[in-house]
Amino acid sequence: MFFQWFDSAPRRVLAAVAAICVAMLAFGLYLQHGPAQLEPCPMCIVQRYALILVAVVAAVGAALKGRGAHLASGGLLVLFAGFGAFVAARQSWLQWYPPEIASCGRDFYGMIETFPLKRAIPMIFRGSGDCTKIDWTFLGGSIANWSFVWFTIFTVVGLVLVLRQWRRRDPRGGSQAVMA
């Protein structure tokens, strides 16, 4: 069954998540620097950073052996992927229901360089006119929609990994050996 993969090969599950994240990051860079020349908005950049964090956590978790490492990796995967899903959902909402007054805001780096961090971070999540713009679609979904789908999948994978690894603990207080 599919869930047995989380028990028998948690390192492969994490490696698959890391590989998918790297492919998504490469595709995002292709859309930005390739023929499409899409300029990422502040929310897109935050999603990109969340995707990098998910990739790093999954790669480190795949490299480490042991139930504790897989529990920690799964937990961090839930945290970072959940954050990415939240930002992607907010951007999707802004795209479906754009504000009446849309204004193009500064890019992420311009905000960080111009404003103190305590003012720049709320500006990033406020969403500007750029965040409501849909430049690219695939099967009817924007980049934000697809990011939400993948972040949700990564969150579910992290939850299943945590639950399956937690269930494998020895009832006598120790932990069972984990096959990697």
Beta-carbon neighbour count of residue 150 at 10 Å?
20
Most confident of 117-121, 129-133, 162-166: 162-166
Give the range among 34-38, 43-47, 158-162 with minimum mean pLDDT.
Answer: 34-38
Across 21-46, average pLDDT: 81
The tokens for 24 are 């998504």
Q: Examine the pLDDT at 106 and tell me if it is beyond 80.
A: no
The pLDDT of residue 63: 87
Categorize the per-residue pLDDT at 7 as very low, low, confident or very high, splitting at 50, 70 and 90.
low
Categorize the per-residue pLDDT at 130 as very low, low, confident or very high, splitting at 50, 70 and 90.
low
Task: Sketch the domain layout of the chain as residue ranges.
Answer: 4-96+105-167
* Residue 94 or 76, more confident: 76
Tell which CATH classification among 3.40.50.261, 3.40.50.150, 1.20.1550.10, 1.10.10.10 matches the domain 4-96+105-167. Answer: 1.20.1550.10
* Residue 67 or 85, more confident: 85
* Long-range CB contacts (within 8 A, 24+) of 142-148: 142/92, 142/95, 143/28, 143/31, 143/44, 144/43, 144/44, 144/47, 144/88, 144/91, 144/92, 144/95, 145/88, 145/92, 145/95, 147/47, 147/51, 147/84, 147/88, 147/91, 148/85, 148/88, 148/89, 148/92
